[in-house]
Structure 1
Amino acid sequence: MRLRLEFTTEPFDLDEAPQHALVAREVVRAAELDAVDVGPFGNTAEGTVDQVVAAVGDVLRRTLDAGATRVSLQVNVIGEGAK
């Protein structure tokens, strides 16, 4: 099964990327994920169940440690049985 992860971290800072956003980008780029797209208002990536679940755990732990006060995420099934 393949999943798509979409997430954002807050609080936002329009002048420069906050530390938690930089950490989120680092985590998702270092994970074994495909179709990684990082942006100023959200990030997406795709992978297997194990890859996405591991990345979500790392994103939550590391961004909260880096000062995020909110992490919003969504995970969708995109392949092999997606309806």
Structure 2
Amino acid sequence: MGHLEAEFTSEPFHGEGTPPEHAVQARAAAEAAGLSTDFGPLGTSVSGDSEALLDALPSIARAALDGGATRLTLRLQQPGASVEPDGTEPGSVLDGIVRRVEAELGTRLSDLDRAGKQRAVRLLDERGAFQLRRSVAAVAEQLGVTRFTVYNYLNRDRHLDQD
């Protein structure tokens, strides 16, 4: 196989600021396995030899869960892949999801009121938009809000779903 890249997100999110312990512990497990890491507010990207990366996944998951994660999402990819799994160009998957949500809501994301923006974030989340790399920043820009606001909407909806 050669080389692999993985991106994992652990929840609950805390938005911007100090990263949650589960994210810190998952990153430490990846680094302990000798993987290159790129730590971000929504997820951590790791890369390395495919065997080393695949062997490290259980310890990364265990570290996140031991650190308090309630959910761990993983995406694996061979580096240099220039298309999404459905054959579309990168970025167009999110654009397509956003266009469908805008059509459903009858207006552009930027024209929605606060309640409409919260509903849009919920719909985008249901359709998997936030599983895509850098999607929170892109959606925040289209909504005309900060990334922190999008994280707050996501956390609000997820807490409501648990009640």
Tell me the TM-score range normalised by the shorter chain: 0.7 to 0.9
Larger Rg: 2
Q: Which residue of 2 aligns with 1:2?
A: 3
Number of residue equivalences = 80
Q: Which residue of 2 aligns with 1:31?
A: 33
Q: Which residue of 1 aligns with 2:104?
A: none
Distance, in Å, in 1 between the alignment partners of 2:12 and 2:63 is 15
Distance, in Å, in 1 between the alignment partners of 2:18 and 2:5 is 27
Secondary structure at 1:51 match in 2: helix
Distance, in Å, in 1 between the alignment partners of 2:24 and 2:46 is 16
Secondary structure at 1:62 match in 2: helix
Distance, in Å, in 2 between the alignment partners of 1:18 and 1:2 is 29
Deviation at residue 49 of structure 1 after TM alignment: 1.8
Deviation at residue 9 of structure 1 after TM alignment: 0.5
Distance, in Å, in 1 between the alignment partners of 2:23 and 2:48 is 21
Using structure 1 for the length normalisation, give the TM-score.
0.82
The answer to whether structure 1 residue 52 and structure 2 residue 15 are counterparts is: no
Q: Percent identity between the aligned chains?
A: 39
**Correspondence 1:43-82 to 2 at 5 A:** 43-78=44-79
Which of structures 1 and 2 has the larger relative contact order (alpha carbons within 8 angstroms, sep 6+)?
1
Alpha-carbon RMSD: 1.9
Secondary structure at 2:53 match in 1: helix
Unaligned runs of 5+ in 2: 83-163
Deviation at residue 29 of structure 1 after TM alignment: 2.0
**Runs of 4+ residues over 2 Å off in structure 1:** none
Unaligned runs of 5+ in 1: none
Which protein is richer in helix relative to its size? 2
